[in-house]
Amino acid sequence: MIYYAAGLLASALMLLYRRPVARTSPLRQLSIPSDALAARLEGRGSRATSTLALVASFSVLTVVASLRYGIGTDYLARYVPMFLAVRQGAEVDVEPGYLALNQAVASVTDEYQWLFALVSVLTMVLVYRFIVRMSLNPALSVFLFVFGGFYLEAFNLGRQGLAVAILLNTVELVMRRKQLGFVLLTLLAASMHLSALVWFAVWPLMWVRLNRFWRIFLTVAIAAVVYLVPELFGSLVGQVAPEYAWYFQSNYGGVRLFDPGGVAIAVILFVLSAIFLRGGPGDRYTTVVVNLQAYLVAILAATLFVAYAFSRLTYYFSPILLLALPLLLSRIHDRLVRRLAMLVIMVALVAVFQWKFIEWRAHEVWPYVWIFDRP
């Protein structure tokens, strides 16, 4: 099965990646001592081998993403007609950044697959940059990216998947206090999908140092707000813009998003990290990661029962698990116990992946079809 083969190969190749983290990476300020962190900072190993492994891992996932055909609910229904309209010079109602990508490709070819290839390459470059610079365990993060569902969800999300990849790289900017860079990247993400503007709402909450009580209190408060907002604004939207009223129908979002495995894993990780990962003085890395986990758990819990519009917020917060799990495992000092815990979580993720994408066929990403098999 191509998704399993690509995911396992890409993760295995990253085991050969041994280059040290960049000097500007917030990982260098992490105050949690562990052999996992020490090994990551030192990065012992051949530079050539590391570079080759990184490029090979990136290429495996990028090729599969770029050469897909008809994968995802919006591929043929929305993105192909949009590209063809742009090619013909018609006016298209879409965010300016994504429109610019369409126009750039349409100016040189009438083959829409090049647009999907371009979006896939940009998305994967940004995701791998985030993982390499920010993760304590890049190989595990690549595994989480694939089998945690983020990789296949990007197939379906298209422009929103690219927006998510852009926003991932703002997390480092928050940790490094590069506020202007954060604003510019968030606006760039919004030029691909307007919903990315929600990132500004959590900007000040990313790095505020909270104790255990206030972090849990804030989680409950956010869940309540997300739950109540559709009830407050649903009727208003129905009057002003009826075409968007369905976004506020609770029965649609609740059924669509239900993912018990993902919710369980996120909640468990948050509870454990809220207890153990307090961080030390100046440890912005731990603060930002755990705070973002709190917001993810709040939104996941609330959107099991409320509108589809708000369930889409999980796409922006869920990828923080790519950092949270390696960070949590780094607190387990016994190497054998740490590896056993990692194995248990990996098996659980694969089980959820099989159920969600293969059995339930979420987002219509299975079966895989190559562009070469296009009718």
If one counts the domains in the chain, the total is: 1
Determine which of 34-43, 77-86, 285-294, 322-331 has the lowest per-residue pLDDT on average. 34-43
**pLDDT reported for residue 281:** 45
Token readout for 38 is: 């020490």
Domain that holds residue 290: 2-373
The Cα 207–Cα 39 span in angstroms is: 26
Overall average pLDDT of the 29-34 stretch: 68
pLDDT band at 204 (very low <50, low <70, confident <90, very high): confident
Q: Who wins on pLDDT, 161 or 229? A: 161
pLDDT of residue 31 exceeding 50, the answer is: yes
pLDDT band at 328 (very low <50, low <70, confident <90, very high): confident
Token readout for 42 is: 């030192």
The radius of gyration of the chain from alpha carbons, rounded to an integer in Å, stands at 20
The Cα 109–Cα 232 span in angstroms is: 47
CB 46 within 8 A of CB 337: no
Question: Is the CA virtual torsion 94, 102, 73, 168 positive or negative?
Answer: negative
CB 259 within 8 A of CB 352: yes
pLDDT band at 254 (very low <50, low <70, confident <90, very high): very low
**pLDDT reported for residue 255:** 37
Overall average pLDDT of the 347-374 stretch: 83
pLDDT band at 359 (very low <50, low <70, confident <90, very high): confident
Determine which of 54-68, 118-132, 158-172, 332-346 has the lowest per-residue pLDDT on average. 332-346
**pLDDT reported for residue 258:** 40
Residue 370 main-chain phi, psi, to 5 deg: -75, 150
Determine which of 17-26, 124-133, 209-218 has the lowest per-residue pLDDT on average. 209-218
**Percent of the chain topping pLDDT 90:** 29
CB 143 within 8 A of CB 325: no
CB 155 within 8 A of CB 146: no
pLDDT of residue 105 exceeding 90, the answer is: yes
Say which DSSP state 22 is in: P
pLDDT one-digit tens code per residue, 135-194: 989 999 999 999 988 899 888 888 889 999 999 999 999 888 888 999 999 999 999 988
Please state, in angstroms and as integers, the Cα–Cα distance from residue 58 to each residue in 144, 219, 357, following that order: 14, 35, 22
The Cα 335–Cα 81 span in angstroms is: 52
Taking the CB of residue 337, how many other CB atoms lie within 10 A of it? 11
pLDDT of residue 257 exceeding 50, the answer is: no
| 370: three-class secondary structure by DSSP | strand
CB 205 within 8 A of CB 295: yes
The Cα 23–Cα 27 span in angstroms is: 9
Overall average pLDDT of the 305-333 stretch: 76
Determine which of 51-55, 217-221, 261-265 has the lowest per-residue pLDDT on average. 261-265
Overall average pLDDT of the 99-112 stretch: 92
